Chain A
Amino acid sequence: MSTTAAAASPVTYLNEKTTVASWLLTKDHKRIGLMYMLTVTLAFVVGAVFAGLIRLELATPAGDLLSSDTYNRVFTAHGVAMVFFVLIPVVPAVLGNFVLPLMLGAKDVAFPKLNLLSWYVFILGMTVTFSAIVMGGVDTGWTFYPPFSTEGSDSNVMLAGVGIFITGFSSILTGLNFMVTIHRMRAPGLTWFRLPLFVWALYATSLIQVLGTPVVAITVLMVALERFAHLGFFDPRLGGDPVLFQHLFWFYSHPAVYIMILPPMGAISEVIACFSRKNIFGYSFVAFSSMAIAVFGFLVWAHHIFVAGISPYSAMVFSFLTYAVAVPSAVKTFNWTATLYRGAIWMRAPMIWVFGFLGLFLVGGLTGLFTASLGIDIHIHDTYFVVAHFHYIMVGGAIMGYFAGLHFWWPKMTGRMYNDTAAKTSAVLVFVGFNLTFFPQFILGYLGMPRRYHMYPPEFQVLNVMSTGGAAILAVGYLLPMIYLTYSFFKGEQAGSNPWMATGLEWTTQSPPLPHNFADQPVVTEGAYEYSKREMKVA
C-alpha cells in the first residue's frame, strides 16, 4: 500500500475484499468491530421489541395484553438480551474493537485470530440464549435467583444459562486481548499518560471483564448443575444458602455495570475534548478515576441484598463503600463540566449526544445516592425506583455514550458523513423520550410499585401511561439513527480523514482506514488532547 493511494478509489479495509467469506474469516479488528455492530444492533432491536411489549402491557393495570407467564418471559428476555448482548459488548466490542488499535498506532489487536474467535463465541452464545427465548422462553428474570431458577421455574433456564456462560467467554477473551494490546502494541512515544482516556477506560473495563466474568460464569454453571445434575449448592433443604448465589452473582454483576458505563465514559471524554477544542480538565484524575471505579467496584456487591437478611454491620460496610465508589464518578462529571469552561464549543451532533449523556447520567448517578442509603433502600429495593435508576445509568448513560462515540467515529469507520440535523433531532428525541419514560418510574417506585409486576393497583396507572407514552418517543429517537446512518453508509458525502479536526492517531490515517491502518508507523510526541496548540483548518 502506498501513501499516495488517496486518488479515485483508495484501498480501504471495506473495499479491499468484498466477498462474504472475506468478512466471515477476517482478522481485521475494524471489520470485526462492524460485525459486532450489526449483531449488537440486532440484539438491541430484539430487546427493544420486548421493552415495547412490557410498556404496552403496563399501560393498563389489568393484565389484559399478555398472560402472566408470557409477561414474565417477556421481561426476562428484555433483560437478558439487553444486559448480556447489548450493554456489555456495545462499546468495548464495537467502538473499542474499531478504534483501539488505531488509537494506539497499531496494525491490529495483539491476537487478531482470538478476536475473531470472540465474535464467533458471541454469536454461538447469542444463538443458544435466543433459542431458549424462542423455544418457550425463560421466566426467571435476568438475575436467575435460586431456588426459583433451580426448581421453581419450568422454563428454559438451562439453555439460557449455557448461552450466557458461552457469551461470558467472548467477553473474557475480548478483555484479555485488549489488555495485552494496550500493554504491548502502543506506538513509539505513546506513554501511558499520553493515552487517550478511551483507552484508559477500555483498560479498566478489561480488568473487570477478566476478573469478574469468570465468577458469574461459574455461578450460572452452578445453577445449571443444580437444575439438571441435581447437585446441591444453593438448596435450602440440604442446608444450602440461596443468598450465597446472590453474593456470587452480584460480585460480577455490580462490576458489570462498570463494564457497561466505563467505556461510554471514555468515549464521552474523547468527544468532549474534541468539540470543546481543549485538553480534558484533570486528565490524570479522569484516568485514575476509571481505575479506581474498576477496583472499588468489586467491593460493593452486597448493596443489592440489603433486605436479604445480611448482618446489619456488613450492610453498613457495603453501604459506606458504595458511597465511596460514587466519588470517582462525581469527579469525572465535574471534570467534563470544567472542560467546557473557556472552550470553543462546536455544536455538532456528537456533542449534542454528549449533553444528553451528561443530563441522564447525572440523574442516574445522583439517584444512586438513594439506593445506596440503607434507610431508604429498605423501602425502594425491588421497586420501580431501582428500575428507573439503573435505566438512567445503563441506557441513559451507556447507550447515550455509545451514540456519542458512534457519531464521533462514524466518519472514520465509513468514510462518510451523516445528516447533522437528523442526528441532533434524534439525540433530542431520545433525551426527551427517555426522561418521560423513566422519570415517572422514580415516583412510582417511591409510591411502592414493585418491579416485575404484570398487574398493579389502579392508582399507579397515570404514571405508567406517561411512561408508556415516553417509550413511544424513545422508540422514534432510536429508530432515526438506523435510517440516517444506513443512508450515510451508502450515500453520505465523503468525510475526509479528519472531519472534526480531532487529535488522536485514528484521525491521522485515511477514512475509511487502510486494511492495516497506517501507511507508516506513527510516532507520538505529545499528550492526547493538545487542541489549544493546534491550528484548526478544514480537512
Chain B
Amino acid sequence: MLSGIPLLPVQASTLAPQVDALYYFIVAVTAFFGILVAILVTAFALKYKDDTGLKVGAPITGSVPLEIGWSLIPFFVAVAIFAWSATIFFQYTRPPENTLEIYSTGKRWMWRFQHLDGQREINTLHVPVGRPVKITFTSEDVLHDLYIPAFRIKADAIPGRYSSIWFEATKTGEYHLFCAEYCGTRHSGMIGTVYVMEPNDYQAWLSNGGVTGGSMQARGEQLFQQLACTTCHLTDGKGRGPSLAGVFGSQVKLTSGQTVIADESYIRESILAPQTKLVDGYQPLMPTFQGLVNEDGVLSLIEYVKSLNGGAGAAQASAAPATAPAQGERR
C-alpha cells in the first residue's frame, strides 16, 4: 500500500534538485544523530537495568572534554548545513537577467495572473519550459502565499508591497499551485494549476489566449493617458512632476535627503500614496490614485513605466538618468 506514496513532490524546476539534495543531506545527518542516540539509550537501558531499584549508579558527575566535544560537533554540523542552505537561498532571492515577467495579484480566494502580452488567467498559470520566469505579485486584501511545491518555491503576498518568486521549469506537465498563508474561509480553495509547456505550445497558447485590451504595456499607457498622468509627467522633465523616462531601477533622490531605488514597490507607492517619498525638487502636488486604479491597473502602469527605460519601442525614453540633460536638449 505504501509503495504508492511518493516521498518527494515532482522535481520540475532547476531549484528543486538542489533543495532535495540538501534535504537528503539533512535527512542523513539527522538520521545519524537520531539513531546514534536511540541506540545508546536502548543499549544503556538494557545493560544497566535494575529491577530492584536498590542499586545505585556509578559516581560519575560529568566530563568537560565530552561536553565541549558534543557542543562543538553539532555546532559545526549546523554551520555546514547553514552554509549550504544559504547558497540555495541566495539563488532563490536573485533571479537571473532577462526573466519572462508575469504579474499576479492574490485576492480572497483566487490568484489572477497577467502576462506581458495581455493574457489574463485565474487560478491557472501557463509558462514555457526551460526559461527563467519571474512572478511579481501582491495581495488585494489579506496575506496570501504563492506556493508551487514542484518548483520548491513560495513567497507571501503582502498587501501594500510586491513580492516575487522566480523559477526555471525543467519538465512539462501540470503542477499544483497553492495559497500557503491562511486567508480565511476558502483558503484551501485558493489553489490552481501551473501548466509547463514546450516553447512552441506556449507560443500557441499565447496567441490563442483571447487577449482583450492589448498588452500590459499598452494598457498601462492607456491608463497613463486616462488618469491624466501625462499632464504633469512630461517626458522632457519640465513638467510639474518628474519625467519617468529611465526612472525604473534608478536611484531617486528624495526631498528628505534619502535615496531610494525605484523598484516596483516604489512606483506603486508613488501612485497610491504619492507624498510618502517625494522626489527632490518637486512640490507635493500629486493626488493619490487610491480607489481610481486597481492592483491590476497599477501593475500595467508599472509595466508601462518600465517600458520607458527603453526596449520595447520606447525610443524617446531610451535615455538613462545619466544622459537626462541631453534629453532636455532634444525638446
Binding site for B on A (CB under 8 A): 63, 68-69, 72, 139, 141, 145, 147-148, 152-153, 236-237, 239-243, 276-279, 281-285, 307-309, 312, 315-316, 319-320, 323-324, 326-327, 330-331, 333-335, 337-338, 340-348, 355, 358-359, 362-363, 366-367, 369-370, 372-376, 378-379, 381-383, 443, 446-448, 450-457, 462-463, 500-501, 531-534, 536-538
Contact = CB atoms under 8 A, between A and B. Distances in A.
Contacts of A462: 1-2, 4-5
Contacts of B143: 145, 147-148, 242
Interface in B103-152: 108, 141-143, 145, 147, 149-150, 152
A376 B82 CA distance: 10
A312 B184 contact: no
B38 A359 contact: yes
A369 B78 contact: yes
B60 A281 contact: yes
29 contacts: A148-B184, A236-B160, A237-B160, A239-B276, A278-B57, A282-B66, A282-B67, A285-B62, A309-B161, A320-B79, A323-B79, A344-B57, A345-B44, A346-B51, A366-B34, A372-B82, A373-B22, A374-B82, A375-B18, A375-B84, A376-B23, A378-B92, A382-B180, A382-B181, A446-B9, A447-B149, A448-B176, A501-B53, A532-B56
A537 B56 CA distance: 11
Interface string B202-217: 0000000000000000
A455 B163 CA distance: 26
B158 interface: yes
Given A68-B187, A276-B57, 17 more contacts: A68-B185, A152-B184, A243-B158, A281-B63, A309-B161, A319-B86, A326-B74, A327-B78, A337-B37, A337-B44, A340-B45, A346-B51, A362-B37, A362-B38, A375-B84, A450-B188, A455-B188
The 4 closest A-B pairs by CB, nearest first: A448-B149, A375-B88, A236-B160, A278-B57
Nearest to A241: B160
B231 to A, nearest CB: 26
Interface of B: 1-2, 4-9, 18-19, 22-23, 26, 29-30, 33-34, 37-38, 40-41, 44-45, 48-63, 66-67, 70-71, 74-75, 78-79, 81-82, 84-90, 92-93, 108, 141-143, 145, 147, 149-150, 152-156, 158-161, 163, 176, 178-189, 191, 273, 276, 290
B19 A379 contact: yes
Given A382-B180, A452-B182, A456-B188, A376 B22 contact: yes
Given A323-B81, A374-B89, A448-B149, A237 B48 contact: no
B26 A373 contact: yes
Contacts of B154: 307, 378-379, 381-382
A532 B187 CA distance: 59
B187 A452 contact: yes
B71 A331 contact: yes
B59 A533 contact: yes
A381 B79 CA distance: 21
B186 A536 contact: no
A533 B89 CA distance: 54
Contact of B189 (A284, A348, A455): A455
Nearest to A75: B182
Contacts, number: 293
A382 B145 contact: yes
A453 B184 CA distance: 10
Nearest to A452: B182
Contact of A344 (B55, B81, B92, B189): B55
A307 B30 contact: no
B5 A443 contact: yes
Nearest to A149: B142
Given A331-B71, A375-B89, A369 B30 contact: yes
Contact of A345 (B48, B183, B290): B48
B67 A346 contact: no
Contacts of B26: 369-370, 373, 376
A307 B156 contact: yes
A308 B34 contact: no
Nearest to A328: B71
Given A277-B55, A326-B74, A344-B48, A446 B92 contact: no
B41 A340 contact: yes
Nearest to B80: A323
Contacts of B142: 145, 147-148, 152
B62 A340 contact: no
A352 B146 CA distance: 44
Given A337-B40, A443-B5, A282 B56 contact: no
A365 B34 CA distance: 10
B159 A139 contact: no
Contact of A141 (B79, B153, B182): B182
A283 B63 CA distance: 10
A448 B11 CA distance: 12
B181 A376 contact: no
Contacts of B163: 309
Contacts of B63: 281-282
**Of listed A72, A448, A501, residue having the most chain B CB within 10 A:** A448
B5 to A, nearest CB: 6
Contacts of A359: 38
Contact of B92 (A347, A367, A375): A375
Given A345-B48, A359-B38, A370-B26, A153 B57 contact: no
Contacts of A346: 50-53
Contacts of B55: 277, 344, 536
A277 to B, nearest CB: 4
A342 B153 contact: no
Given A152-B108, A239-B276, A324-B75, A375 B85 contact: yes
A69 B187 CA distance: 10
Contacts of A337: 37, 40-41, 44
A255 to B, nearest CB: 20
A450 B153 CA distance: 13
A281 B75 CA distance: 20
B9 to A, nearest CB: 5
Contacts of A363: 34
A84 B153 CA distance: 32
B88 A147 contact: no
Nearest to A367: B30
A148 B5 contact: no
Given A312-B89, A375-B19, A69 B57 contact: no
A369 B33 CA distance: 12
Contacts of B183: 148, 152
Contacts of B9: 446-448
A383 B180 CA distance: 7
A312 B58 contact: no
Nearest to B84: A375
A283 B60 CA distance: 11
Given A242-B143, A452-B187, A378 B54 contact: no
B54 to A, nearest CB: 4
Given A152-B183, A337-B44, A453-B187, A343 B58 contact: yes
A457 B193 CA distance: 12
Nearest to A530: B59
Nearest to A500: B53
A68 B186 contact: yes
A344 B50 contact: yes
B85 A72 contact: no
B187 A72 contact: yes
Contacts of B88: 374-376
Nearest to B92: A378
Nearest to B5: A462
A378 B61 contact: no
